[in-house]
């Protein structure tokens, strides 16, 4: 069902500092920061030859990554995103197998303007999984 790894998301407290690490120490192509108030994050994308890294900084009081950073103040891997051809078919197949889809199960428009869903970490080896329809 899943296809390519679309991105790995890393939560950080300081987006500018984290961008500098990827740009200067690792020599990566780092994009401009964009605010996504509807998701409670400020995001920087880093283009790698085979995938992307998404750096996430909390935006606003109710940011979904604020709690994560309380537990991991140095930052850490927050989720992985896999591509699917048909997000509704993928959701229905996963739900039929008992997997938990976060929220009300309706895909939201994600960082790349494409429909996304998140799957419960407890059902996927302790890792929050994002599915993106491409």
Rounded to an integer, what distance in angstroms lies between the CA atom of residue 74 and that of residue 109? 28
Q: Binding to Co ion (CB under 5 A): which residues in 81-100?
A: 81
CB of 130 to Co ion, least distance (A): 5
The burial of 130, by beta-carbon neighbours within 10 Å (0-12 exposed, 13-18 middle, 19 or more buried), is given as: buried
CB of 8 to Co ion, least distance (A): 9
* 119 near Co ion, judged by CB under 5 A: no
- Which listed range, 24-32, 35-43, 89-97, 125-133, lies at the site for Co ion (CB under 5 A)? 125-133
* 12 near Co ion, judged by CB under 5 A: no
Active site residue 54: no
Binding site for Co ion (CB under 5 A): 9, 81, 130
């Amino acid at each position: 069902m899943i296809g390519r790894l679309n991105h790995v998301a890393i939560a950080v407290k300081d987006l500018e500092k984290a961008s500098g690490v990827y740009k200067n120490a690792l020599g990566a192509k780092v994009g401009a920061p964009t605010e996504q108030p509807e998701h409670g994050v400020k995001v920087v994308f880093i283009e790698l030859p085979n995938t992307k890294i998404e750096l996430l900084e909390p935006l606003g009081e109710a940011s979904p990554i604020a709690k994560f950073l309380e537990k991991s103040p140095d930052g850490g891997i927050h989720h992985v995103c896999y591509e699917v051809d048909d997000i509704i078919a993928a959701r229905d197949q996963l739900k039929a197998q008992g997997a938990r889809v976060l929220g009300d199960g309706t895909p939201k428009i994600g960082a790349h303007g494409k429909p996304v869903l998140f799957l419960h970490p407890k059902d996927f080896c302790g890792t929050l999984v994002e599915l993106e329809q491409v």
